[in-house]
Amino acid sequence: MKTGIDAISFDVAKIRLPIKTLAQARNIEPEKLEKGLGLLKMTLPDKHQDAVVFGANALTKLVLENDIDLKEISRIYVGTESGIDSSKPIGSFLTTLIEQKFGENILSECDVVDFTFACIGGVDALQNCLDYVRLNPHKKAIVVTSDIAKYDLESTGEYTQGAGALAMLIASNPRIIAFENNWAVNTKGVFDFFKPYRSISKQEITGNETNENWFGNLEAEIEIHKDQPVFDGQYSNQCYMDRTRHAYFQFKKLKNTTETLYNSWKNIIMHLPYSFQGRRMLPEIYSLDSKNISVDSDGSDYQAKLKEVAKTDDYKSFVNEKLQPAEIASSLIGNLYTGSIFMGFLSALSHFDQMNEDISDQTFGFLAYGSGSKSKVFEGTIQPEWKSAISKVKLFQTLEQSFEIDFETYQKLHKKEQQTSVLFPKKEWVLDRIETEIPNLTGARYYKWMD
């Protein structure tokens, strides 16, 4: 029996800022970002959008486009690092909204939970749901990834921002891709990218030396939440390469093969915080697995050889053949954190569909990464019905319809100074209000569907 992804849908922010506009405002040479990193546009959440909105939109599309009977869904597992509550999971919001639209209590027997491990949380949710369906072939599950990648203004991560969600139906005998039950993992606790609790003394805010009540806060320190992470780009790249390398060669052991593993993969799908990240991370694995270099080489000489490999025609051909299809959407969207690897997969499928190339029975390799840090390597086989299964998705057509904003509007949105939505919402979920008056509901978030 096969288990995998039977259907897929997505929702990304409808407003965009051209990377060229950002580069010029930050006095960065546009080609450095466009040709060096593969960045063309970045998507941004509107005033009425958060991670729940994107997740609910993607999930609603999945249900409507695939005529899903929600009574058959046993699990809705969410991968995210953009949670809006330290206790209540996004999954619980999603079931409420779906029931609001499709029928009260229709998901009352459905299990929901959020998975958080930076950008690999969605893969963790996928693996869990695959295991569940494998043990219960008559049941179905849904994986949702929803994130808003936001970085500080003028930081080195600013130009990689993005926002959106994907939803995937996990079932036996899937139409799109069936996954093998071999999963290699490599984990190490590091601080390459994280979103810590931060605090400031109340006295610094109020100017009062006494610890008086301040907007309901009785503690002497006020906790501050920031969507923006603390990160070290170069160190994070090294962690990405180290975890992925170890997981890749562990996967080779699981496959019990001495052959060059990536040669067996039609396409390689990786976590892409920016479009060209994968091609920058892979020269080491590419070289080691083909035995062009040895991991025992001298440090400086080793790095020099990797740089040489990345410039060769063979490696460039490898990138164009096995990595480039997954990069297309990333260039137009930006980072989706947990969703980026799945958007890369959808991008590749949409590319092959557009090129009218049948990839049925081809194997795709997946190299997932999440800061903190963990990598998982796994593979799947494209199923014969993949084309018809994605026929309603219209990825590239949808991305072409995004609305361009100017730099001033971008800064207002980023600083949360924008008072109204840039685009009027239509046929989508919106954040309607946040409760401020009722004491035992303070902070509760309420959403509604806009026809």
pLDDT tens digit sequence for 72-81: 999 999 999 9
Mean pLDDT over residues 98-116, rounded? 98
Q: How high is the pLDDT of residue 258?
A: 94
Task: Report the run of H or E that residue 202 belongs to, with start and end.
Answer: helix 202-206
Mean pLDDT over residues 318-337, rounded? 98
Residue-wise pLDDT for 108-144, tens only, equals 999 999 999 999 999 999 999 999 999 999 999 999 9
Q: How high is the pLDDT of residue 42?
A: 98
Indicate whether 296 pLDDT > 60: no
Least confident of 69-78, 82-91, 206-215, 334-343: 206-215
Q: pLDDT band for 176, please (50, 70, 90 cuts).
A: very high
Do 90 and 146 share a domain, yes or no?
A: yes
Do 38 and 157 share a domain, yes or no?
A: yes
- Which residues constitute the domain of residue 216? 194-224
- Distance from C-alpha of 444 to C-alpha of 439, rounded to nearest angstrom: 10
Angle between helix axes 121-135 and 340-354 (nearest 10 degrees) is 80
Do 20 and 63 share a domain, yes or no?
A: yes
Least confident of 45-59, 155-169, 204-218, 370-384: 204-218
Indicate whether 297 pLDDT > 60: no
- Does residue 256 come out as left (phi exceeding 0), alpha (psi in the -120 to 50 range) or beta? left
Q: How high is the pLDDT of residue 68?
A: 98
Indicate whether 299 pLDDT > 90: no
Do 248 and 211 share a domain, yes or no?
A: no
- Distance from C-alpha of 121 to C-alpha of 83, rounded to nearest angstrom: 12
Do 123 and 267 share a domain, yes or no?
A: yes
In a domain, 293, yes or no: no
Q: Residue 430 forms beta bridges with which residues? A: 448
Residue-wise pLDDT for 267-293, tens only, equals 999 999 999 999 999 999 999 999 777
| Number of domain units in the chain | 2
Cβ count within 10 A of residue 376: 25
Q: Quote the pTM value.
A: 0.97
Q: Which residue has the higher pLDDT, 294 or 175?
A: 175
Helix (H, G, I), strand (E, B) or coil at 217: strand
Do 204 and 80 share a domain, yes or no?
A: no
Do 8 and 156 share a domain, yes or no?
A: yes
Contact 119, 375 (CB under 8 A): no
Do 402 and 256 share a domain, yes or no?
A: yes
In a domain, 314, yes or no: no
- Distance from C-alpha of 269 to C-alpha of 387, rounded to nearest angstrom: 18
Least confident of 146-150, 221-225, 272-276, 432-436: 221-225
For residue 385, the domain's CATH number is 3.40.47.10
Do 73 and 98 share a domain, yes or no?
A: yes
Mean pLDDT over residues 305-330, rounded? 96
Q: How high is the pLDDT of residue 301?
A: 81
DSSP E strands, 328-439: 363-370, 374-382, 403-404, 428-434
Do 258 and 403 share a domain, yes or no?
A: yes
Residue in the structure block whose two tokens are 């009218």: 356
Mean pLDDT over residues 189-203, rounded? 95
Q: Which of 47, 68, 46, 50 is nearest to 59 (CA)?
A: 68
Q: How high is the pLDDT of residue 303?
A: 86
Cβ count within 10 A of residue 131: 14
In a domain, 41, yes or no: yes
In a domain, 305, yes or no: no
Strand duo 363-370 + 267-270: pairing: parallel
Q: How high is the pLDDT of residue 295?
A: 58
In a domain, 435, yes or no: yes
Q: How high is the pLDDT of residue 302?
A: 87
Q: How high is the pLDDT of residue 209?
A: 86
In a domain, 373, yes or no: yes
In a domain, 396, yes or no: yes
Do 95 and 175 share a domain, yes or no?
A: yes
Do 54 and 198 share a domain, yes or no?
A: no
In a domain, 310, yes or no: no
Percent of the chain with pLDDT over 70: 99
Q: How high is the pLDDT of residue 292?
A: 72
